[in-house]
Amino acid sequence: EAQVTQNPRYLITVTGKKLTVTCSQNMNHEYMSWYRQDPGLGLRQIYYSMNVEVTDKGDVPEGYKVSRKEKRNFPLILESPSPNQTSLYFCASSLWAGGAGANVLTFGAGSRLTVL
């Protein structure tokens, strides 16, 4: 089944304790992206990747890191989480980033993170 898989789905952690949210897709998609969703603010892009070893900042990158060493994986790293990073996180992928018809995103099921 074609899908984007995120783990963990739920996590409660404490301020400053490094964590990684994994994201993996099995569709050979070039484009991958991380979003956070907060009430009243909608989905905001954190980081995205156009292809292996090509990553760039989205709208709200502060406090996050990413890497794209393999096409299928795009982990999100919180080096020193803070309470304002409490949110619902979605990883998404699409076949490719170019062209008007390309932005059909497949989302993972989401990771609900609470930072105390």
Partner 1 sequence: RKEVEQDPGPFNVPEGATVAFNCTYSNSASQSFFWYRQDCRKEPKLLMSVYSSGNEDGRFTAQLNRASQYISLLIRDSKLSDSATYLCVVNVGGATNKLIFGTGTLLAVQP
Q: Which residues here bind partner 1, judged by CB under 8 A?
A: 35, 40-45, 48, 50, 56, 88, 90, 97-105, 107-110
Rounded Cα distance between 34 and 84, Å, is 17
CB atoms closer than 10 angstroms to residue 93: 27
Q: Which of 74, 48, 46, 76 is nearest to 60 (CA)?
A: 46
- Closer residue to partner 1 in complex, CB, 38/79: 38
Shortest spacing between CB 18 and partner 1, in angstroms: 25
Tell how far CA 3 is from the center of its chain.
14
- Closer residue to partner 1 in complex, CB, 84/103: 103
Shortest spacing between CB 42 and partner 1, in angstroms: 4
